[in-house]
Amino acid sequence: MKMSKLEFVEKMSKLELSEDQAVSELTETLQEYERKYKLRSEIFYRLIVGTPAEDTPDFISWAMCYRSYFRVMQSKFFIGEVSAGAL
Amino acid sequence: MLYDAHQQDRIIQRCWMIYELVSDKFVPPHEFHIQYPSLVELALTSGYFKLRVALTKSGHSIHIHEEYGFSEYKLILKAYVYMLFDRARNSIIRADSLPHHQTDYKGHRLVHFPNHLHDEMGRVCSFSGEIEDFARRCCNILENEMG
């Protein structure tokens, strides 16, 4: 049954946001892509993203997931610089 | 935490808009309403929103992926892909913002570059970039297919 906006906002206010949980979920998704395409995410990002080959549904989603993973890791560990060429 | 309270509020508002859109335009299964908060939780902690919902009546499914960023205090979509699949998991239409297409299939410049849509024939068409327009187009396709 559809939530009302009030119910939705109440549920949001009760969320215990966890970066560890986010990392776990994003890692799982990245690993699914890596198994499917037999390619590590770092290699995929360097080789495919920014080229016309990126123009497939899985690759667009994979790239978004990878960037998001890096954002969370940077936030979690206060990394000043992302490893060279990663993003 | 990646986002401050104001930014989290903007993401929550965006996710509510998507929730309302999917709930009102389509017939998502009961689980959709139960699981939706956990999708928002991932968006709030990572800036990545990922929704895959099977539509109860037709067997079609809609996938919505959005990546959020902020320009000062305004939420922006850094990237997105919206897709409609048939029951056999074949892609019917897809909208995204990758900048690899400059023109539509007729050779006209995309009106809202880099936003574009791959239609039922696989042709590149202009697209506003608005998720409401994608949902409207999905509704039209589903209505035609359901008779």
ipTM value for the complex: 0.89
How many CA atoms lie within 13 Å of A20's alpha carbon, on the beta-carbon side?
Answer: 1
| Residue-by-residue DSSP string for chain A | -PPPHHHHHHHHHH----HHHHHHHHHHHHHHHHHHHT--HHHHHHHTTTSGGG-SHHHHHHHHHHHHHHHHHHHHHT-SSPPTT--
Which is higher by pLDDT, B20 or A14?
Answer: B20
d(CA B135, CA B21) in angstroms, rounded, equals 8
Domain that holds residue A42: 20-87
Q: A41 in a domain, yes or no?
A: yes
> Which residue among A1, A17, A54 places its CB closest to the CB of B41?
A17
What was the pLDDT predicted at B56? 67
Confidence band (pLDDT; 50, 70, 90) for B145?
confident
Inter-chain CB proximity A19 and B81 less than 8 Å: no
Cis peptide before B114 (omega within 30 of 0): yes
d(CA B2, CA B45) in angstroms, rounded, equals 6
Whole-number percent of chain B with pLDDT over 90: 84
Q: B25 in a domain, yes or no?
A: yes
User: In the predicted model, what is the mean pLDDT of residues B131-146?
Assistant: 92
B51 strand-pairing partners: B64
Q: A51 in a domain, yes or no?
A: yes
Inter-chain CB proximity A55 and B100 less than 8 Å: yes
Inter-chain CB proximity B2 and A9 less than 8 Å: no
Inter-chain CB proximity B37 and A12 less than 8 Å: yes
d(CA B16, CA B6) in angstroms, rounded, equals 15
Q: B84 in a domain, yes or no?
A: yes
What was the pLDDT predicted at A8? 93
Q: A12 in a domain, yes or no?
A: no
List pLDDT tens digits, range B69-88.
999 889 999 999 999 999 88
Confidence band (pLDDT; 50, 70, 90) for A67?
very high
What was the pLDDT predicted at B133? 97
User: In the predicted model, what is the mean pLDDT of residues A14-21?
Assistant: 86
User: In the predicted model, what is the mean pLDDT of residues A32-61?
Assistant: 95
Indicate the number of domains in chain B: 1
Of B75, B96, B94, the closest CA to residue B86 belongs to B94
List pLDDT tens digits, range B37-61.
999 999 999 999 999 999 867 789 9
Q: A27 in a domain, yes or no?
A: yes
d(CA A67, CA B108) in angstroms, rounded, equals 32
What was the pLDDT predicted at A85? 47
Collect all residues of chain B within an 8 Å Cβ-Cβ radius of residue A28: none
- Does the pLDDT at position B147 exceed 70? no
- Does the pLDDT at position A16 exceed 90? no
> Which residue among A8, A67, A72 places its CB closest to the CB of B16?
A8
Inter-chain CB proximity A57 and B63 less than 8 Å: yes
Domain that holds residue B135: 5-96+129-146
Q: A58 in a domain, yes or no?
A: yes
Decide: B73 and B9 in contact? Cβ < 8 Å: no
Output the pTM of the full model: 0.92
What was the pLDDT predicted at B20? 96
Q: A54 in a domain, yes or no?
A: yes
Q: A13 in a domain, yes or no?
A: no
Inter-chain CB proximity A1 and B94 less than 8 Å: no
Collect all residues of chain B within an 8 Å Cβ-Cβ radius of residue A12: 12, 37, 40, 44
Which is higher by pLDDT, B144 or B75?
Answer: B75
Q: B47 in a domain, yes or no?
A: yes
Chain A: closest CA distance from residue B146 (Å) = 24
| Minimum Cα–Cα distance from B66: chain A residue | A64
Q: B68 in a domain, yes or no?
A: yes
Confidence band (pLDDT; 50, 70, 90) for B138?
very high
Enclosing H/E stretch for B63: strand B61-71
Q: Are strands B91-96 and B61-71 parallel, antiparallel or unpaired?
A: unpaired
Of B78, B25, B38, the closest CA to residue A15 belongs to B38
Indicate the number of domains in chain A: 1
- The SS3 of residue B120 is coil
